[in-house]
Amino acid sequence: MTESAQALPALTVETRAVDQVTSLLPLLDPSAPLLFVRRGDGIAGLGEALRLEFHGPDRLREAADAWRRVSASATVSNPVGLSGSGLVAFGAFTFDDESERASVLIVPEVIVGRRDGVSWVTRVNGSKRPVEHRPLGAEYRISLHQGTLDADGYQLAVAEAVRRIRAGELSKVVLARDLIGHLPEGADLRRVLVDLALGYPDTWTFAVDGLLGSSPETLVRVSDGVVTARVLAGSMARGADAEADHAAAVALATSTKDLDEHRFAVQSVLAALTGHASGVVASDLPFALKLPNLWHLASDVEGTLSDGSTALDLAAALHPTAAVAGTPTSTACEVIRELEPLDRRRYGGPVGWVDGNGSGKWAVALRSAEVAADGGITAYAGAGIVADSDPARELAETRLKFRPIVEAFG
Ligand SMILES: C=C(O[C@@H]1C=C(C(=O)O)C=C[C@H]1O)C(=O)O
């Protein structure tokens, strides 16, 4: 059943400014963390006051409609007034229309936020749940190993994708593979999040409904009527020393193959924002974004919201971009279903939050893993395939993209 058929409750929401919260992570539930942070700022959630699940091709639009109704019927007291204060839902949506996994919106019982030196606590329906530091649970080290698609299988899939691209069936497709593992009983997931947040401070570190990761890619952000996105596509390993590293960045920024791959991704974002935002601009040329494991070609996109869309409406319009699916979108999604023998679940989908005024931040769920209720872990990484792609290099690229998550669990 979809949400449109379910009754939605009228929530009571109360936000208060509090003394500076030094760190959000120790406050989280060790087994069910809700988090979206970058450089220490962001929001953390405790408990679930409302959980809505969505399935199928209309999951994002249905969620955006349900959220409009939840927001309209809520009673909100919010003297803080920053985006992310007041009523907020965390969300994680599946990549594929046909995924087995549910897409979710979760309104926590309690939300703790910090931004630009201001901290706040939001309580939903008068929740008395304590906000307190809990000591980290026992250390653990888990190695992730081969999942559904092994290294040879992945290279064969890439070679087949290249053949189809050269035959003119499509221009680009993003192919992913998986690694699997198992968490020990009672494992404290905050250990993984601490590692990710410290190791990759310039990315969005997130945890929503068992989906954990650190993504460098902003699908869309809406704040005070301004719409922004950061598109990534095109990757290169970091160099071993300063000189080699500089050479790697230059090689990436001048690689026709990567610039092509990138152009498709930017165009898909610009096209999806048409009609929702005015004056949308991206810089002429992408810049090289430095992460601890990789260089990426990046483009920042900005415009002015023109149609009253919420951040979740825009996520619905944008997903899936050519950075995670390909070009043209529908052919790319068919090729992914055919050549990738796995369910991406929420990998590559929108993960983030939306508030009661429609502001929000949504990342593309990359550098991530799904942790199931039984402790099963599935990590995913992919690479954009174009006509000049080489299977061995694309495999190597997925290894680099697995690094944040493999090291955080290891
Ligand atoms: C598909 C992934 O990353 C995406 C693909 C990229 C590429 O092909 O160069 C770069 C950044 C992301 O948009 C991933 O991390 O799994």
CA 178 and chain centroid, separation: 17
> How many Å apart are CA 333 and CA 127, to the nearest integer?
42
Q: How far is the CA of 301 from the centre of ligand 1 (A)?
A: 17
Q: How far is the CA of 59 from the centre of ligand 1 (A)?
A: 23
Atom of ligand 1 nearest to the CA of 265: 13
Q: pLDDT tens, position by position, for the chain (410 residues)?
A: 444 446 899 999 999 999 999 999 999 999 999 999 999 999 999 999 999 999 999 999 999 999 999 999 999 999 999 999 999 999 999 999 999 999 999 999 999 999 999 999 999 999 999 999 999 999 999 999 999 999 999 999 999 999 999 999 999 999 999 999 999 999 999 999 999 999 999 999 999 999 999 999 999 999 999 999 999 999 999 999 999 999 999 999 999 999 988 999 999 999 999 999 999 999 889 999 999 999 999 999 999 999 999 999 999 999 999 999 999 999 999 999 999 999 999 999 999 999 999 999 999 999 999 999 999 999 999 999 999 999 999 999 999 999 999 999 99
Name the residue with tokens 């009228």.
10
Least Cα distance to 221 among 211, 229, 231, 209 occurs for 229
Q: ipTM > 0.95?
A: yes
Question: Please, are residues 121 and 382 in contact by the beta-carbon 8 Å criterion?
Answer: no
pLDDT of residue 1: 43
Residues with CB under 6 A from ligand 1: 174, 176, 217, 232-235, 296, 323-324, 366-367, 381-384, 401
Q: How far is the CA of 58 from the centre of ligand 1 (A)?
A: 25
Tokens read off for 364: 């593309």
Q: How far is the CA of 13 from the centre of ligand 1 (A)?
A: 38
Name the residue with tokens 């888990």.
142
pLDDT of residue 6: 61
CATH number for the domain including 104?
A: 3.60.120.10
Question: Please, are residues 193 and 35 in contact by the beta-carbon 8 Å criterion?
Answer: yes
Q: Which domain holds residue 337?
A: 3-409
Count of domains for the chain: 1
